[in-house]
Structure formats: structure tokens, C-alpha cells
């Protein structure tokens, strides 16, 4: 922290870089809380929540940590990007997220829609001349069909991964925007139930 403050004073010609402290502690409440309390005493710009986060305990661990951290500073959850995880984490105090999942699954042809994730390489998409999601405004959906994406993946064209990633990233950012809006207008619980019911309730 001292070194960061020193460099900030010296590098006035550069944009300010925020310094976050990362809370570790695996699945152990005492370690998580102790780490969070220790970091809360430092002059940090925000906090990261990292380490081993089992899906079943995600909400509980995030809650432990956030009960110890100052509410006025951002809390960033590392390695989370599945829709149900977003809702659980946000309910328990997480503000921002990062994860490679949207791009990683895209490289294998998996794409997101409001009614679930599916694989564009499936045979049914070979002659499906419509976008991944007709309601999506991303570059991929505005310009390419499932059939073309299917062809690109089968031909092992690099463009296939790029287009699928563009769509998946757009979907995830859009989802978080909608969650933020639902919090602002007081409809978070309703939106969560409707979205998750549609996304996970239909096998594709």
C-alpha cells in the first residue's frame, strides 16, 4: 500500500490505478473473516474475493467476506460468470466480476441465449438461417446466421471462436446490466426468478 501511494504521487502524468486487496481463505469462515478484517484496515480502493469458491457455498462465502468489508468500497468476485452465480453473488454483496468462461465455452461452439446455453455445432444448426438469438443486438447476431457459424466451426476457421465470443460477452454484460436495473427499480427478486426459470428450465 505504501509503495502504491508513493508511485501514485510520482506518476502524476498517468491515470490513477486502483489498488485492490484480495481476500483468501478457501471454505473456512474464520480465515475468510480474518483476511477480510485485515484488508479492511488498509487504505485500499476496493477488494477482490478469490481463492477456492465451491458453487454450493458461493453465496455463504461472499456473505462472510462482505460482512467484514466496508460497504462504501467495491467488492470484485474473481472467476464467476454463470448466470445463477451472478444472482447469488449479487444478493450477498458482490459488485463486479471477471471470468474466462464466456470465451472458453465459445471456443467449443457453446453460446448463450435467454432460454439456455446450446452448441452451435449441433447438426440442427447446419441449415438454421437465423441468428443465435433474434433479440440480441450484438455484432454476431446482427450479421451472421447459426448455419454460417456452424460452417465456420466445422471448417475450423478462427473467425468461429471470435464471433461466438463476441456474442457470449455481449450476453453476459447485458445480463449484468439488466440485474443492475432490476435492483434500481426494486424488481430484483422477480427478475431473478423469471430469468433463471427460463434459462435453466428448458433443455436445448
10-residue mean pLDDT profile of the chain (204 residues): values are 87 92 95 97 95 88 96 93 92 93 96 96 97 97 98 98 98 96 97 96 58
Q: Cα dihedral sign for 80, 85, 50, 73?
A: positive
In this prediction, residue 202 carries a pLDDT of 59
Strands (E), the chain: 20-23, 46-49, 75-78, 96-98, 110-113, 116-119
Name the DSSP class of 186. T
139 and 171 in contact (C-beta within 8 Å)?
no
Q: Could you tell me the CATH superfamily of domain 2-99?
A: Aldolase class I (3.20.20.70)
In this prediction, residue 204 carries a pLDDT of 42
- Residue 60 burial (CB < 10 Å; 0-12/13-18/19+)? middle
In this prediction, residue 167 carries a pLDDT of 99
Q: Where along the chain do the CATH 3.20.20.70 domains lie?
A: 2-99
* Secondary structure element (H or E) that encloses residue 38, with its range: helix 29-40
**pTM attached to this predicted model:** 0.88
Amino acid at each position: 500500500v505504501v509503495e502504491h501511494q508513493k508511485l501514485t504521487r510520482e506518476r502524476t502524468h498517468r491515470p490513477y490505478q486502483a489498488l485492490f486487496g484480495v481476500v483468501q481463505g478457501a471454505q473456512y469462515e474464520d480465515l475468510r473473516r480474518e483476511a477480510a478484517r485485515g484488508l479492511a484496515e488498509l487504505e485500499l480502493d476496493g477488494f477482490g474475493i478469490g481463492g477456492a469458491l465451491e458453487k454450493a457455498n458461493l453465496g455463504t462465502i461472499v456473505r462472510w467476506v462482505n460482512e467484514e468489508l466496508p460497504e462504501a468500497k467495491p467488492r470484485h468476485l474473481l472467476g464467476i460468470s454463470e448466470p445463477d452465480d451472478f444472482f447469488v453473488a449479487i444478493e450477498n454483496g458482490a459488485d463486479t466480476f471477471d471470468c474466462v468462461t464466456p470465451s472458453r465455452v465459445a471456443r467449443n461452439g457453446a453460446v448463450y441465449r435467454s432460454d439456455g446455453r446450446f452448441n452451435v455445432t449441433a447438426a440442427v444448426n447446419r441449415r438454421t438461417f437465423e441468428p443465435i438469438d433474434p433479440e440480441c443486438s450484438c455484432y454476431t447476431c446482427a450479421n451472421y446466421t447459426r448455419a454460417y457459424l456452424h460452417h465456420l466451426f466445422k471448417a475450423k476457421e478462427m473467425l468461429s471462436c471470435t464471433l461466438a465470443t463476441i456474442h457470449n460477452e455481449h450476453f453476459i454484460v447485458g445480463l449484468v446490466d439488466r440485474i443492475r436495473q432490476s435492483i434500481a427499480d426494486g424488481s430484483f427478486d422477480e427478475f431473478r426468478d423469471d430469468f433463471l426459470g427460463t434459462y435453466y428450465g428448458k433443455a436445448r
